[in-house]
């Protein structure tokens, strides 16, 4: 079993002419075999650029990109960049980029050297589109289109699958469903994948490892639940949802706590937690969102998710304490 | 199958275009660059081919455009003969070194001296008199005398004449410069412009029609247009021709301005012999007589006969100033027109 | 090299340097075959233009004279024509485009495609037909001369002549703006328009305040084409006696024999057009790709009540009548008179076949070359490539005669090289086909660019990632999906080549007559009835081409 990473970036920098900041700034990153690495970041963080560099749709300005240990672009192999069609990668585009003038089966077969009916049938079955061979992309529903995009990408058995915000065009319910299905498919194929998304739930649901980008730099990598629990800074914390800055009593450092870890202590004179004033309370179906203003954090507020806040009123005074980290969950890394 | 057709079509199209491009002129063919565009000319060419078996390939364009083309094509030009409808242009072509001496006594002697190049590089095929036509109803012949007289204020608002961009007017202008000097000529042009019934527009025919319509009383046109209008298929044209009469100016003096339609052999052609044959053909009595009937131009050959209509217009004295002299003055003529505001 | 990602942000000085490629972007040689191909094609197209420019540096004999005498007049006339024709075109084109898109009235469907037809009529043919106008006005003018004053007469004559020329040019050129506006108006987001209506804007306010500004880039593009045609026209202005810059070019070149001065005039023309294109680019550049999403809301046209409906039909009928119905009727009458007389048919079947074949073959070849060229330009974003892409369209801004001479010079020089096995090109169909390509390349370029913009990069990228080379991607993805714009471009090219006159007159090979040259020489002999026959054939062929083009343009380019 090969130990070396499938895809590597070393010191990769990319700057667009119109912008003053580089899109990617000396980035180092590895994608290990068999893993699904999710790149998370705001728009403009450089995650899509990284993906396109991997695909060969763009070239790095400095640094190098390696595929299976061999340089495919950059300083290490100047003038010898491997063009996209020779890299044997798959890419699932944001909006599918399906060929409108070809049928479903022709779309899937597009990347094959010869039209292989069995392979096409197998791929369609894998994604659950059997029976739709003769349809055209515009005749499929949104979810079916993404599945077709996946089938087309995996048909030529790519070494690495790239996914560019594959669920962003779908409504939330469909998104949940498709996420789960795709994760199963990719796992069953043992397909190494690199996914770009701005939706933290995608990463948490699908990825085995996550990397957070901000303005061209990687801030943190790790198992999703780990990063969720222990974000490196505010930016990383906020990728996954609201986070509250809490100053750790012992070390004096900032730590980041999730709203669901908040505990409400109605008593003002308890010796754990901090004094807060409640600003507002909103029932959100499964939990209550309660925003409080801690006394010792001038101007800042905390967001707390409480199971039952029916008795809490705005203006009330109380204490909020934070639960500790849970045991690490077994996760594929 | 559709894909095959789709892919093949551009190649087929390309081949068709390419196939028709490569044109190797045969040995028994001549290529003629000409300004003239009469159907009659085509008949002549066919006649020549029937008689001699030599085919004539024709390129028709404006004479000056043809000069540019000859210059750029240089040695590689496919042209053997160059023909114009204006003497000034022909002599300019000769001066530019584009023509070679015809080298045929027979050809040269068949036309009067002033209708051929002193250095033997070109010869006239037809003559085209540029005359004054006047409204039968509104003008008495006694009022007319010379071209110069048209500058007189009594003609204010009564003259119709075409644009100065036309070579016929330019050649006329050169004779005025040659006869009266630059200063007088420029004054003349300015005065005539002032006398025009409307700014210069349209062709010679339109000037005649303007007289018929009552807009102008006199016009300066080439004689053969009257003939063409008289025999036109359009009733309106015939009416217009019927409303005017011809007058040959400057009969007391140097004579009426006569321009020529002429031909020369292109320098560098390998078929000078064949070319000479064609010129001889054009100057033969048979053809020259046909010309006067067909296009109403005056034939150039000394021994040719006039048509009835031309007899009807009467004999006239022609200005025998040499064409080559006029060619050199053309640029000056144009400048004068520009300064005089004659568009 | 098993390094796991770290969270360290690099602060090394190397990271601060501008990346290698942006520093040297301009110096990059084409590193691949596609780039090389782009350079070759662009170079070939520019060759005649460069040949022309090389002359500019030489001594000019007549330039000072020209400047002091006629140049002012040329500039003034050109400017008057451009402004007046543009204004008239806007009036003739925009209202019909708006009402045909948004309202339902008797004859709407017919008007929607018929309004394009005047484009089939070449300006010189329109000139023959409309020049009867000043003649018909002679009685009126004489009346003015006798009853008012001779000066009033001159003024009236001028007004009638210029006025007629302006109206005539506008009437045959307005379809450019009409087409552009139709496309813009029908694509405008229904939601924006409806939002404006909900906010209480009257239809008039919606039109002037929302729809018209949104259509500005399209209007600018169409107007640019109109202005270029006006500046380049030779036949009509010559006929009507209105000396413009282009007429000046012809006169200076061929009459005065001063190539250099003529080219300087041509340079002025090209400069004016370049300015025009820049302005047009500015007007549309900001609106980046305001190609609003093809609305899923179907277009609902308001049905007009009878009175308004008739008025709407009138508004559409006026430009159509002036620009198409009247000229065609005259032509048909003349042609009928000619064909039923003994004069014989003035066209030879040979000429007809040759002309159509050359136009069709050249149009097909040039469209395909342009498509591949555009594809290659977009393959890699680089400043040099995109400027080459723009520059290849310059021929459209250049007067046909100038291009003809440029080609003559370039081809002549090439022939003088005397390369073995290579036949002489001067005087062949290849030379004239090449000249057509230089002249009209901009048309398929524009269509292809717009089509490829709409197609977007993702499909091409998907194909590349699935293992297809750039060439395979072009053949399998771009070409099939661009069928609509390509056919439309090919049709427009076909029509334009059929109509083309000045370039053809200069460059045509021996024994070669096109319909255009036949019509022109017959008209010069004032054999109007005979001239009507080839003119009519041009108009019919052009009309069919335009209708087909229109159909392909409104059909969606992909199967969405």
* Cα torsion angle, A99, A104, A108, A114, sign: negative
The 10s digit of each residue's pLDDT in C372-411 is: 999 988 887 777 777 888 788 888 878 787 888 888 888 8
C197-206, C511-520, C532-541, range with the lowest pLDDT: C197-206
* B217 vs A266 pLDDT, higher one: B217
Contact in structure between B34 and B83 (CB atoms under 8 Å): yes
Task: Tell me the pLDDT band of B113, cut-offs 50, 70 and 90.
Answer: confident
Do C79 and C243 contact (CB within 8 A), yes or no?
A: no
For the segment C62-108, what is each residue's pLDDT rounded down to a tens digit? 788 888 888 888 889 999 999 999 999 999 999 999 888 888 888 88
Chain A nearest-CA distance from C310, in A, is 41
Output phi, psi for C399, to 5 deg: -55, 140
Instruction: Read off the pLDDT of residues B267-319 as tens digits, 9 standing for 90 and up.
Output: 988 888 889 999 999 998 889 988 888 888 888 888 888 888 888 888 888 88
Best mutation target, C6, C31, C465, to test chain A (most A CBs within 10 A): C465
Instruction: Please report the sign of the dihedral spanned by the C-alpha atoms of residue C145, residue C147, residue C151, residue C155.
Output: negative
Percent of chain A with pLDDT over 90: 32
Q: Given an 8 Å threshold on Cβ–Cβ distance, is C20 in contact with A62?
A: yes
Q: Which residues of A touch C560 (CB under 8 A)?
A: 100, 138
Q: Which of C65, C341, C526 sits opposite B338 (nearest CB)?
A: C65
Higher pLDDT, C296 or B16: B16
* Minimal CA separation from B19 to chain C, in Å: 9
Range of weakest confidence among A235-239, C273-277, C484-488, C542-546: C273-277
Instruction: Give the residue-averaged pLDDT of C425-451.
Output: 86
Q: Which of C255, C335, C357, C474 best tests the B interface by mutation, with the highest count of B CBs <10 A?
A: C255
C141 or A48, greater pLDDT: A48
Q: What is the spatial distance between Cα A183 and Cα A173, in angstroms, rounded to a whole number?
A: 16
Average pLDDT, chain C: 79
Q: Give the pLDDT of residue C557.
A: 39
3-state SS string over C298-340?
A: CCCCEECCHHHHHHHHHHHHHHHHHHHHHHHHHHHHHHHHHHH
For each of the domains in chain A, give its residue range(s) and CATH number, in order of start: 7-88+159-235 (3.40.50.300), 245-322 (2.40.50.140)
- Reduced to 3 states, what is the DSSP secondary structure of residue B218? strand
Is the pLDDT score of C180 beyond 90? no
Instruction: Provide the strand spans (E) within B87-223.
Output: 99-100, 122-135, 159-160, 218-222
Dmax (CA) for chain A in angstroms is 76
Torsion of CA A75, A78, A82, A84, to 10 degrees: 70
How high is the pLDDT of residue A241?
84
- Give the angle B59-B60-B63 at the CA atoms, nearest 5°: 115
Mean pLDDT value across chain A: 87
Q: What is the ipTM of this complex?
A: 0.78
- Pick from C127, C234, C241, C246 the residue to mutate for testing the B interface (most B CBs within 10 Å): C241
Ranges of beta strands (E only) in B136-170 are: 159-160
**How far, in Å, CA of B36 to CA of C446, rounded?**
40
The answer to whether B183 and B286 are in contact (CB under 8 A) is: no
Partner-chain contact B73 C408, CB within 8 Å: yes
Whether C441 has a pLDDT exceeding 80, the answer reads: yes
C interface residues, A as partner, C-beta within 8 Å: 1-7, 9-10, 12, 14-15, 18-22, 31, 458-459, 461-469, 476-477, 480-481, 558-560
Question: pLDDT at position C96, please?
Answer: 92
Residues B173-224: tens digit of each pLDDT:
999 999 999 999 999 999 999 999 888 887 888 889 889 888 889 999 998 8
Cβ(B180)–Cβ(B188) below 8 Å: yes
Work out the pLDDT band at C173, boundaries 50, 70, 90: very high
**Chain C within 8 Å of B201 (Cβ-Cβ)?**
yes
Q: Is the pLDDT of residue B38 over 70?
A: yes
pLDDT more than 70, % of chain C: 86
Q: C466 and A136: CB-CB below 8 Å?
A: no
Please give the interface size between A and C, counted as residue pairs whose CB atoms are below 8 Å apart: 125
Residue C29 has pLDDT above 50, yes or no: no
Which one, of A217, A208, A49, lies nearest residue C5 by Cα? A217
Q: Answer with the residue of higher pLDDT: C49 or B47.
A: B47
Instruction: Please answer yes or no on whether B23 and C509 come within 8 Å at the CB atom.
Output: yes
Kindly state whether B26 is in contact with chain C, defined as any CB-CB distance less than 8 angstroms. Answer: no
- Write the residue in C5, C19, C459 that is nearest to A15 by C-beta: C19
User: Any bridge partners for residue A70, and if so which?
Assistant: A67
Tell me if B323 sits within 8 A of B264, measured CB to CB: no
> Would you say residue C315 has pLDDT above 60?
yes
**Chains with 3 or more CB pairs under 8 A to chain C:** A, B
Q: From chain B, pick out residues whose CB is under 8 angstroms from the CB of C343.
A: 233
Task: Calculate the average pLDDT of chain B.
Answer: 85
Cβ under 8 Å to B: C residues 223-262: 238-241, 243, 247, 250-251, 253-259
Q: What confidence score (pLDDT) does residue C19 get?
A: 38
SS3 category, A306: strand
Give the pLDDT score at C25.
38
Neighbours of A, requiring at least 3 CB pairs below 8 Å, are C
Listing DSSP states for C450-510 in one string gives: HHHHHH-HHHHHHHHHTT--HHHHIIIIIHHHTHHHHHHHHHHHHHHHHH--HHHHHH--T
* pLDDT bucket at B125, cuts 50 / 70 / 90: very high
How many whole angstroms from its chain centre is CA C271?
17
pLDDT higher than threshold 70 for residue A222: yes
Describe the crossing of helices C349-379 and C442-455 by its angle, rounded to 10 degrees. Answer: 40
Contacts of A82 in chain C (CB under 8 A): none
Interface contact flag, A59 C21, Cβ < 8 Å = yes
A154 has a pLDDT exceeding 70: yes
How far is the alpha carbon of A122 from chain C, nearest alpha carbon, in Å?
18
pLDDT at C92: 93
* Interval B269-278: pLDDT, tens: 888 888 999 9
pLDDT digits (tens, 9 = 90+) for B66-88: 888 888 888 878 899 999 988 88
C23 pLDDT exceeds 50? no
Tell me if B319 sits within 8 A of B255, measured CB to CB: yes
Asked if residue B323 lies in contact with residue B87, where contact means CB atoms within 8 angstroms, the answer is yes
Please report which confidence band the pLDDT of residue A195 belongs to, taking 50, 70 and 90 as the band edges.
Answer: very high
Cβ atoms within 10 Å, residue B327? 23
Tell me the percentage of chain B whose pLDDT exceeds 70: 92
pLDDT given at position C239: 79
β-pairing, A7-14 with A62-67? antiparallel
Interacting residues of B27 by C-beta distance below 8 A, sequence separation 6+: none
Cβ distance C560 to A89 less than 8 Å, yes or no, reads no
Q: What is the DSSP letter of C16?
A: G
What's residue C391's pLDDT? 80
What domains appear along chain C, each with residue ranges and CATH number?
50-295 (1.10.3720.10), 345-560 (1.10.3720.10)
Strand, helix or coil for residue B228: helix
* Closest chain A CA to residue C6: A220
Give the pLDDT band of residue A13 (cuts 50, 70, 90).
Answer: very high
Cβ–Cβ under 8 Å, residues C207 and C51: no
Is the pLDDT score of B23 beyond 80?
no
More confident residue, A178 or C342: A178
Query: Which pLDDT does position C554 carry in this prediction?
Result: 61
- Say how far apart CA C72 and CA C74 lie, in whole Å: 5
DSSP assignment letter at A135: -
pLDDT at B39 exceeding the cut of 90: no
pLDDT tens-digit readout, A82-120: 888 889 999 998 888 899 889 999 999 998 988 889 999
pLDDT in tens, C422-433: 777 777 788 899
Contact state of C138 with B215 under an 8 Å Cβ cutoff: yes
Confidence label for C24 from pLDDT (cuts 50, 70 and 90): very low
pLDDT at C558: 39
Average pLDDT over residues B121-131: 91
For CA atoms A102, A104, A108, A109, give the dihedral sign. Answer: negative
| Residue ranges in C345-441 assigned as alpha helix (H) | 349-379, 383-391, 400-416, 429-440
Residue B17 clears pLDDT 70, i.e. is over it: no
Test C362 with B17 for CB contact under 8 angstroms.
yes
* Residue C343 near chain B (CB below 8 Å): yes
């Amino acid at each position: 079993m090969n130990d070396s990473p499938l895809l590597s970036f070393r010191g990769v920098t990319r700057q667009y002419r119109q912008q003053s900041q580089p899109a990617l700034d000396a980035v180092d990153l590895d994608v290990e075999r068999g893993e699904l690495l999710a790149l998370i970041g705001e728009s403009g963080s450089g995650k899509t650029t990284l993906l396109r560099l991997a695909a060969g749709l763009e070239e790095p300005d400095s640094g190098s990109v390696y595929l299976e240990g061999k340089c495919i672009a950059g300083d290490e192999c100047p003038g010898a960049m491997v063009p996209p069609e020779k890299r044997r990668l798959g890419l699932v585009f944001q909006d599918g980029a399906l060929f409108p003038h070809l049928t479903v089966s022709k779309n899937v077969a597009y990347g094959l050297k010869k039209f292989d009916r069995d392979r096409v049938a197998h791929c369609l079955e894998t994604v659950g589109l059997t029976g739709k061979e003769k349809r055209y992309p515009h005749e499929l529903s949104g979810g079916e289109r993404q599945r077709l995009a996946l089938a087309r990408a995996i048909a030529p058995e790519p070494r690495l699958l790239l996914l560019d915000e594959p669920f962003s065009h779908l409504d939330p319910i469909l998104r949940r469903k498709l996420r789960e299905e795709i994760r199963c498919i990719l796992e069953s194929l043992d397909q190494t994948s690199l996914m770009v998304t701005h939706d933290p739930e995608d990463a948490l649901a699908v990825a085995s490892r996550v990397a957070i980008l901000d303005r061209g730099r990687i801030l943190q990598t790790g198992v999703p639940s780990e990063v969720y629990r222990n974000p490196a800074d505010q930016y990383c914390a906020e990728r996954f949802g609201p986070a509250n800055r809490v100053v750790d009593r012992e070390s004096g450092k900032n730590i980041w706590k999730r709203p669901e870890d908040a505990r409400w202590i109605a008593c003002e004179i308890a010796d754990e937690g901090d004094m807060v004033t409640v600003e507002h309370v909103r029932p959100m179906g499964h939990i209550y969102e309660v925003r409080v203003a801690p006394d010792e954090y001038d101007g800042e507020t905390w967001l707390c998710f409480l199971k039952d806040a029916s008795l809490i009123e705005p203006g009330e005074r109380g204490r909020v304490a934070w639960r500790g980290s849970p045991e690490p969950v077994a996760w594929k890394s | 199958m559709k894909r095959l057709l789709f892919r093949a079509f551009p190649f087929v199209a390309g081949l068709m275009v390419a196939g028709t491009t490569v044109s190797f002129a045969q040995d028994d063919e001549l290529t003629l660059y000409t300004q003239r565009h009469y159907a009659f000319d085509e008949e002549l060419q066919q006649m020549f081919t029937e008689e001699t078996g030599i085919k004539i390939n024709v390129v028709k364009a404006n004479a000056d455009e043809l000069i540019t083309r000859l210059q750029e094509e240089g040695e590689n030009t496919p042209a053997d003969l160059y023909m114009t409808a204006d003497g000034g242009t022909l002599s300019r072509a000769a001066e530019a070194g584009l023509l070679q001496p015809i080298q045929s006594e027979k050809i040269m002697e068949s036309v009067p001296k002033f209708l051929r190049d002193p250095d033997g590089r070109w010869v006239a095929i037809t003559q085209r008199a540029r005359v004054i036509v006047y409204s039968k109803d509104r003008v008495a012949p006694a009022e007319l005398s010379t071209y110069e007289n048209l500058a007189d204020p009594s003609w204010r608002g009564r003259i119709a004449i075409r644009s100065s961009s036309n070579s016929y007017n330019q050649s006329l202008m050169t004779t005025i410069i040659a006869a009266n000097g630059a200063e007088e000529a420029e004054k003349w042009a300015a005065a005539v412009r002032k006398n025009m019934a409307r700014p210069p527009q349209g062709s010679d025919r339109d000037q005649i029609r303007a007289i018929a319509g009552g807009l102008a009383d006199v016009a300066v046109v080439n004689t053969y247009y009257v003939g063409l209008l008289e025999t036109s298929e359009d009733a309106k044209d015939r009416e217009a021709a019927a409303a005017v009469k011809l007058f040959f100016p400057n009969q007391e003096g140097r004579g009426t301005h006569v321009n020529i339609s002429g031909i020369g052999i292109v320098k560098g052609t390998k078929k000078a012999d064949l070319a000479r044959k064609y010129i001889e053909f054009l100057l033969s009595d048979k053809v020259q007589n046909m010309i006067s009937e067909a296009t109403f131009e005056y034939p150039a050959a000394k021994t040719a006969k006039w048509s009835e209509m031309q007899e009807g217009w009467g004999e006239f004295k022609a200005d025998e100033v040499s064409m080559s002299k006029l060619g050199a003055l053309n640029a000056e003529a144009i400048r004068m027109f520009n300064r005089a505001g004659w568009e | 090299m098993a390094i796991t990602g770290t969270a360290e942000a690099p602060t090394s000085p190397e990271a601060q340097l501008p990346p290698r490629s942006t520093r040297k972007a301009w110096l990059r040689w084409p590193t691949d075959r596609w780039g090389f191909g782009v350079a070759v094609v662009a170079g070939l197209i520019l060759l005649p233009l460069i040949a022309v420019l090389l002359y500019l540096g030489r001594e000019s004999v007549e330039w000072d004279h020209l400047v002091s005498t006629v140049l002012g007049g040329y500039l003034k006339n050109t400017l008057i024509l451009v402004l007046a024709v543009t204004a008239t075109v806007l009036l003739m084109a925009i209202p019909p485009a708006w009402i045909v898109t948004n309202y339902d009235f008797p004859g709407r469907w017919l008007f929607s495609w018929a309004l394009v037809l005047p484009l089939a009529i070449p300006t010189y043919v329109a000139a023959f037909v409309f020049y009867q106008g000043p003649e018909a006005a002679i009685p009126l003018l004489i009346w003015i001369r006798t009853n008012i004053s001779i000066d009033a007469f001159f003024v009236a004559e001028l007004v009638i002549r210029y006025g007629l020329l302006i109206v005539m040019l506008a009437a045959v050129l307005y379809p450019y703006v009409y087409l552009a506006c139709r496309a813009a108006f029908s694509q405008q987001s229904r939601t924006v328009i409806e939002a404006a209506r909900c906010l209480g804007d009257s239809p008039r306010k919606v039109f002037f305040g929302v729809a018209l500004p949104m259509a500005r880039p399209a209007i600018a593009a169409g107007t640019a084409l109109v202005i270029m045609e006006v500046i380049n026209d030779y036949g009509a202005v010559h006929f009507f006696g209105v000396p413009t810059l282009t007429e000046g070019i012809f006169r200076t070149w061929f009459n005065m024999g001063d190539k250099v001065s003529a080219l300087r005039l041509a340079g002025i023309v090209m400069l004016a057009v370049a300015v025009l294109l820049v302005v047009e680019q500015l007007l549309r550049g900001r609106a980046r790709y305001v190609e609003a999403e093809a609305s899923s809301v179907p277009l609902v046209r308001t049905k007009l009540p009878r009175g308004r409906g008739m008025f709407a039909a009138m508004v559409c009928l006026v430009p159509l009548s002036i620009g198409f119905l009247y000229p065609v009727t005259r032509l048909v009458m003349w042609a009928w008179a000619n064909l039923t007389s003994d004069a014989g048919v003035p066209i030879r079947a040979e000429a007809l076949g040759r002309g159509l074949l050359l136009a069709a073959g050249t149009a097909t070849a040039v469209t395909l070359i342009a498509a591949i060229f555009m594809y290659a330009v977009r393959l890699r974003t680089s400043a040099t490539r995109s400027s080459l892409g723009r520059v290849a369209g310059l021929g459209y801004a250049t007067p046909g005669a100038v291009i003809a001479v440029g080609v003559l010079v370039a081809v002549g020089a090439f022939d003088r090289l005397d390369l073995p096995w290579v036949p002489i090109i001067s005087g062949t169909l290849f030379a004239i086909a090449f000249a057509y390509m230089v002249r009209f390349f901009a048309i398929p370029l524009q269509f292809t660019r717009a089509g490829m913009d709409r197609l977007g990069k993702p499909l091409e990228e998907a194909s590349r990632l699935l293992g297809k080379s750039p060439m395979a991607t072009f053949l399998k993805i771009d070409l099939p999906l661009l069928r609509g714009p390509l056919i439309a471009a090919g049709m427009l090219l076909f029509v334009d080549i059929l109509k083309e006159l000045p370039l053809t007159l200069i460059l045509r090979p021996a024994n070669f007559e096109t319909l255009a040259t036949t019509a022109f020489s017959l008209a010069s002999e004032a054999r109007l009835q005979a001239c009507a026959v080839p003119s009519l054939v041009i108009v019919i062929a052009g009309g069919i081409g335009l209708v087909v083009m229109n159909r392909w343009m409104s059909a969606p380019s992909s199967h969405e």
